[in-house]
Structure formats: structure tokens, C-alpha cells
Structure 1
Amino acid sequence: MTDILSRLLGARPWLLADGATGTNLYNMGLQPGDAPDLWCETHPERVRELHRQMIAAGADLILTNSFGANASRLRLSGAGTRVAAINHAAARLAREAVVESDRDVIVAGSIGPTGEIMAPVGRLTEAEATRLFTEQAEALKDGGVDILWIETVSAVEEMRAAAKAAQTTGLPWCGMMSFEPGGRSIMGVSPPQLATLVERLPYPPVAYGANCGTGPAELLLAMSGFSAAGSERPLIAKPNAGVPRFQDGGLIYDGTPEVMAEFAVLARDMGVRIIGGCCGTTPEHLAAMRGALEQRQPGARPTREVISSRISGAMAGS
């Protein structure tokens, strides 16, 4: 049976992924330093409400509130033995919001990096990373997610470990790295290198790409590296809504809804199939992105110069 992501990609030119989880939960009362994942048990109604808002804004795909719900990260909050329970709850809350919506919305099980540095630079081995990811992936599968969503990874070894975890579950998956200004991850991986890695994996993702980073313009420039590598696998672009700054005691991102709407159109015109937002992206941003994608006609593939000028123009005009 074809998975729901592949089915929707086969039927639609683009899909809209959701916005931020953690930064939106902070706006709903999460305190700095607290683990967002724990809210799946302590404040389930607020997590479910965020999913509802993202779906109402037009999301075709929502991420579970489980980005840091692996044993290594949860151990920092004293919850290292609660991987199964927290991931089950995360999947259930997202599924409940989808059922209420009565729409075809994909529930993607969010799996972020382990929080440890991979060997030989650090001490985390690929085998241990695989174990951590598999434990979380199996819990998300048991909780009812449609696909696994591996995001914000920076090392080749960590992406390979995540792919092995997905293969163990048998679920389809998507994989994303985060790229710094200059076009490489913090562990030195370039977009063409990720594209090559993806095609060589024994259990490749349905789609792959980039998330987080320093804003929409930088992420779009990284996306051009995937296209240059010649891969025909569907691409994902999910940038932060600009750069954060402190204001009124909290973090504010400088990418307005108008900026993210411009990003969404540029991404679509580059051939990106799954478009969304990461840190700082609110339901308001997402609604503007959906509106732009539906109302503005496809254009020519943008050059680097066009990307820079149109994002800068949107920022200046907002």
C-alpha cells in the first residue's frame, strides 16, 4: 500500500508542512529551559491546540511534539526512561487534531538530533545513535504516526543512524540537515554531499532537504545545491522565520508573514515539493504562505540574485 505522503505528492504539485513547535509553545506558556516534549503529558490540551491551529492555517503535514524525545535528551530533564510514553502521547495528540479536522493531513513523527556529538569528534558512536533513534522511532510508530521526520541533523553518521532506525520500523521517512551561512552543516556536510548520501542509503527517504538555519534566503541558496546534484527525489524546505532577537523578554523572529510567503513561492518555483517553516513560524506565517502558494502563479526558476533581492525586498516592505 502506498504511504500517504507518496500518495499526496503524486496528486499535488506541493504540500505545506507546518511551522514551529517549540517557539510557538513558548508563546503558549512554556518556560525557557523546559523541555517542550514533556508538555505532551503535562499540557496536552495546549499541544493539541497548536496542531489544530497549524491545520486551520493550511498545513498538509504536521510534526509531533517530539523533537527532543530521545533518551539522551530526555535524560537532561529526568525523563530518560519515559521515551515510549512521551512519544506515544506526542503521536496521539497530533492524530487527534487530524481526526477532528476531517482532512487528509500527514502526521509526521519528529525526531531531532541526539544532542551529542558523533565520533570521532565526540563520543557518540553510530551504533549508539541508531539505538537511540530506533527506540524513539518505534514508539512513534506504536503511537500512530504516518511517517518519520528526521530533522536538524548535521553529521553524515547521524543521518545514516536515523535511516537505519526508520528501516527497522518499516515506516517511510524524510530527512533534513541544517546548513550554516556558507552552505555547510556544522559538521561540514554540503547539500551535494547530503544528496549523494541519500541516494546511497539502503533505505532512502521519500523526500529530503533542509530545515532551521539562519532564515529563508540562506536556506533557499542551500536548496540550489541539492538541485545541482541531480537528484530527482522530492525536496523539503523548512527555514526559520528569519533571525531571532530579544524583545520584551522573549525571542522575536524578523521574518514576517509576508517574507515567509515570498519564500514559499520562491521555493515552489525552485521545484521544492514540501514547503514549511521552522523556528519562529507561527500559524499566521503559515496562512500567508498557503495563500501565496494558492494565489500566485508559478514563475521561472529563481537565480541566487533573484532569491536575495526578493527576500530582501519582502523584508524591507514588511
Structure 2
Amino acid sequence: MSNPLSDLIAEKGVLLADGATGTNLFAMGLMSGDAPELWNVDHPERITKLHQDFVDAGSDIILTNSFGGTRHRLKLHGAQDRVFELNKRAAEIARAVADKAPRKVIVAGSVGPTGELLIPLGALSFEGAVEAFKEQIEGLKAGGADIAWIETMSSPDEIRAAAEAAIAAGMPYTFTASFDTAGKTMMGLSPKDIFGVVANEPEQPVALGANCGVGAPDILSSLLDMSGANPDATLIVKGNCGIPKFKGDEIVYSGTPELMAEYVHLAIDAGAKIIGGCCGTSCDHLKAMREALDHHQKGARPTLDDVVAKVGPLKNRAADTPGAGSARRERRGGRRRG
């Protein structure tokens, strides 16, 4: 089925997605614990600037400021009755920036986890999750989003619920999982098994893959697993810019523009069609990534040892993972898109 994202991939081959939302909004004054989605109404000029900066840095895809836009997330801020309004406004802001760009820019409606556990582990029913996601996606669609961008997922059931919601809302969709727990998601999904998650849905994702996690080496490891299992898949990687560390009172990420440029080269050769940055990724990183993408010369499919040699050690992959070779492995936790 034709859609703007597939059409742009067909035209350009590999696309550059944007960088971090939360990290950059914190730099603009967002306080820890505040809902970024409220800024769509309270500080729309700051959200506009973020999107514009990403476009100026070379992004082909910008994600709306709506990661926590379900009623379940917004209820933590007393905004559960504003789902449609806040998501519609998020998409409108991004749409206005995209429409002014000198090239085609895709507006991807960011849809993050509800923060709730589904039955039997928690109280949220599958049907309730579908309903909540559909409410959000309908707002994003009304605001002009091109695609529902389901991201940072852990539970296969929650991915299915969000996919069913997108289908019910009449939106094409993508999804990405965060493989941040010994090479799997927190709920045990492996990269190579991601293709079966929505296999029975009547509409399949435009693209799928991985985001967030614990840095470039680990997300590239997940990418190699995915492209090895399905070489023809349209794959997304949107990795964190290194590892967060405290510098005084601030959290900084260890990834340099040079490292993120190398990550782009490796990702293209490993089979990714959409490459972006997650937590910690600034516009300076994106500019280097754009340059790398535009001047990439096709190389051989990298091995894990190639990844480690070029962008550093794995932080989170299980020591007994098949195919890990002699790559050095360390263990670390991870969390949501920043």
C-alpha cells in the first residue's frame, strides 16, 4: 500500500530520522517530571524550533512531541481528557515545519508505551490498550501526521494493540522495540523474533526495528540479528547517543558526532533503511550523521567484531548470545526515549 514514508524510501534509499526529543527539550527548560506534551499548547514555539533544528540538520523524518500522549501517561499530569487536543496539536506543529521544508519531510506521529502492564501481568486489558492508542492516533491523524510511529516498546502484546489501533484509525504504521535487557526487550522479545509480532494483522508495518537501548554498539547488534533473520525487511534503527553520565548536575551522553557518523555507515551496511538518533542525540550529531549518509560508500556487511572495533564495546548483550564472537560485552540497563 502506497504511503509517504515508503515512497520516500523508494526515492532516496536510506532516510535520516531525527534526534532526541526529551534531551533537547530539557535543554530548552523542560523540568524533570513535567509532561513534554503540554508544551504543544503552552510553548509551541519551542517545539517548532526543535523540529526546525532537526530539519535544518538534515532529517527526512521528524517525530511529533507526543511520546507520552495516551490517556494513561497524561493522567499523571491531570490531562487525560486532553488526548485528542494535545496529539492533534503535536502533529500540527510538526506538519507546519515539514510543509515549509525545501524537501519532502515525513511527519511521524510518536506513540510510546502506555506505562501500564497488560493482563495478566497488570490491570490493562488488550482492548483497553487498543482504545487508548486509537484515541491518540486519531488526534495525530487529524493534525496531519503521515504515519503512526510506535516506538520504545517492550511488550509484544502492547505492540499488537498499538498496531491494531493504527489500522482501526486508518493510519499506516511503523514500530520499534527497545532491546535493552541482555539483548532482548524487558518483556523478553528478541530482535530476530520481531517479525512475528504483528504477522497476523491485516495491515503490515511500513518499517520496523529498534530504538533507544544503551548506545550504538548494542542497537547495531540488534540490527544485525534482525537483518540476518529477514534480509528483505525495511528496518529502522534509532539508537541512543552513547551512555548517559552525570557531569555536575547535568546528564551528558558519551557519543560524539564522529561516533554517530560511524554508526550510520555501519547501520547502512547492516541493512537499515531508516537511521536516526534517540536519547542524547543533538543537531550537531545529526549533521554528522547526514554527512555520513550522503557520502556513504557501500561496504561489506559488518560483523559484531567490526561494530566493537569501530564504535566501542557492547554494554548490554548477554554473554552467551550466539554469534557474539570475541566482542567484549558488558551488562547495563536502559529506559525510554529521550
| TM-score interval, normalised by the smaller of the two chains | over 0.9
- What is the SS of the residue equivalent to 2:209? strand
The Cα of 1:153 is off from its aligned counterpart by 0.6
Paired with 1:230 and 1:40, the residues of 2 have a C-alpha distance of 38
How many residues are treated as equivalent by the alignment?
313
Equivalent positions of 1:30-179 (< 5 A) are 30-179=30-179
- What is the SS of the residue equivalent to 1:81? helix
Partner of 1:254: 254
Matched, 1:2 2:23: no
Please tell me the residue identity of whatever aligns with 2:272: V
CA contact (8 A) 1:153 1:177 kept: yes
- Write out per-residue CA displacement over residues 98-120 of structure 1, whole angstroms, 9 at most, x where no aligned residue: 12223200000000000111222
CA contact (8 A) 2:163 2:198 kept: no
CA contact (8 A) 2:4 2:146 kept: yes
Give the TM-score normalised by the residue count of structure 1: 0.96
Partner of 1:22: 22
CA contact (8 A) 1:181 1:218 kept: no
Aligned-pair RMSD on alpha carbons?
1.3
- Write out per-residue CA displacement over residues 12-69 of structure 1, whole angstroms, 9 at most, x where no aligned residue: 2200000011110000111111111111011100000000000000000000000001
Paired with 1:4 and 1:296, the residues of 2 have a C-alpha distance of 24
Paired with 2:22 and 2:227, the residues of 1 have a C-alpha distance of 30
The Cα of 1:196 is off from its aligned counterpart by 2.0
Paired with 1:3 and 1:251, the residues of 2 have a C-alpha distance of 38
Please tell me the residue identity of whatever aligns with 1:260: M
Please tell me the residue identity of whatever aligns with 1:302: P
Please tell me the residue identity of whatever aligns with 2:113: P
- Write out per-residue CA displacement over residues 152-180 of structure 1, whole angstroms, 9 at most, x where no aligned residue: 01011001101101101111110000002
- Write out per-residue CA displacement over residues 120-178 of structure 1, whole angstroms, 9 at most, x where no aligned residue: 22222211110110000011001110111000010110011011011011111100000
Partner of 1:294: 294
The Cα of 1:181 is off from its aligned counterpart by 4.6
The Cα of 1:292 is off from its aligned counterpart by 1.0
Paired with 1:250 and 1:117, the residues of 2 have a C-alpha distance of 31
Please tell me the residue identity of whatever aligns with 1:153: M
- What is the SS of the residue equivalent to 1:199? coil
Identity of aligned residues (%): 49
Please tell me the residue identity of whatever aligns with 2:28: M
The Cα of 1:242 is off from its aligned counterpart by 1.1
Partner of 2:284: 284
CA contact (8 A) 2:112 2:150 kept: yes
The Cα of 1:236 is off from its aligned counterpart by 0.1
Partner of 2:331: none
Deviation larger for 221-230 or 251-260 = 221-230
Please tell me the residue identity of whatever aligns with 2:3: D
Partner of 2:224: 224
Please tell me the residue identity of whatever aligns with 1:44: P
- Write out per-residue CA displacement over residues 177-207 of structure 1, whole angstroms, 9 at most, x where no aligned residue: 0002521000001012212224333221000
Bigger share in helix? 1
Alpha carbons of structure 1 residues 296 and 231: separation in structure 2 relative to 1, 3 Å: closer
CA contact (8 A) 1:206 1:233 kept: no
CA contact (8 A) 1:234 1:273 kept: yes
Paired with 2:25 and 2:85, the residues of 1 have a C-alpha distance of 20
Deviation larger for 289-298 or 14-23 = 289-298
CA contact (8 A) 2:223 2:271 kept: no
Deviation larger for 122-131 or 151-160 = 122-131
Paired with 1:130 and 1:233, the residues of 2 have a C-alpha distance of 25
Deviation larger for 150-159 or 245-254 = 245-254
Paired with 1:181 and 1:84, the residues of 2 have a C-alpha distance of 33
Please tell me the residue identity of whatever aligns with 1:199: A
The Cα of 1:249 is off from its aligned counterpart by 1.5
CA contact (8 A) 2:15 2:274 kept: yes
- Write out per-residue CA displacement over residues 254-300 of structure 1, whole angstroms, 9 at most, x where no aligned residue: 11111111111100011100000011111111000010111231211
Equivalent positions of 1:181-192 (< 5 A) are 181-192=181-192
Give the TM-score normalised by the residue count of structure 2: 0.90
Paired with 1:4 and 1:219, the residues of 2 have a C-alpha distance of 26
Please tell me the residue identity of whatever aligns with 1:212: C
CA contact (8 A) 2:16 2:276 kept: yes
